[in-house]
Amino acid sequence: MNILVDQVRHNGWANHTVLAAFRHRPEVLERACYDGDQLLERAHHLALVERGFLDLLRENMVEPEAPRDLEGLLRYSDETGAAFVPAVEPLDEAALTGELFVPWWRRSFPRSVLVAQVLSHSSQHRAELAWELARAGISTGELDYIVWTAGGCPAPGEPLDLCGLS
Q: Is residue 157 part of a domain?
A: no
| CB contact set of 48 (below 8 Å; sequence gap of 6+) | 64, 65, 66
Question: What's the number of domains the chain is made of?
Answer: 1
97 belongs to a structural domain: yes
pLDDT at 70: 96
Question: Looking at the domain assignment, is residue 160 inside a domain?
Answer: no
Q: What is the CATH number of the domain that holds 43?
A: 1.20.120.450
3-class DSSP state of 142: coil
What is the SS3 assignment for 96?
A: helix
Q: Which residues pair with 161 in a beta bridge?
A: none
**Distance of alpha carbon 69 from alpha carbon 43, whole angstroms:** 10
List Cβ neighbours of 145 (8 Å cut-off, separation of 6 or more): 7, 10
Q: Using alpha carbons, list the distances in angstroms from residue 161 to 17, 148, 158, 164.
A: 14, 9, 9, 9
Reduce the DSSP state of residue 108 to 3 states and report it.
strand
159 found inside a domain: no
- Structure confidence at residue 64 (pLDDT): 78
Burial class (CB in 10 A: 0-12, 13-18, 19+), 146: exposed
Which domain, by its residues, includes 74? 3-150
For residue range 66-80, list pLDDT tens digits in order.
Answer: 899 999 999 999 999
Give the pLDDT confidence score for residue 136 in this predicted structure. 95
Does some domain include residue 20?
Answer: yes
Structural contact between residues 92 and 5, judged by C-beta atoms closer than 8 angstroms: no
Kindly give the parts of the chain with pLDDT less than 50. Answer: none
Residue 158 lies in a domain: no
Query: pLDDT at position 165, please?
Result: 60
In a domain, 43, yes or no: yes
8 occurs within a structural domain? yes
Instruction: Report pTM.
Output: 0.94
pLDDT at 163: 84
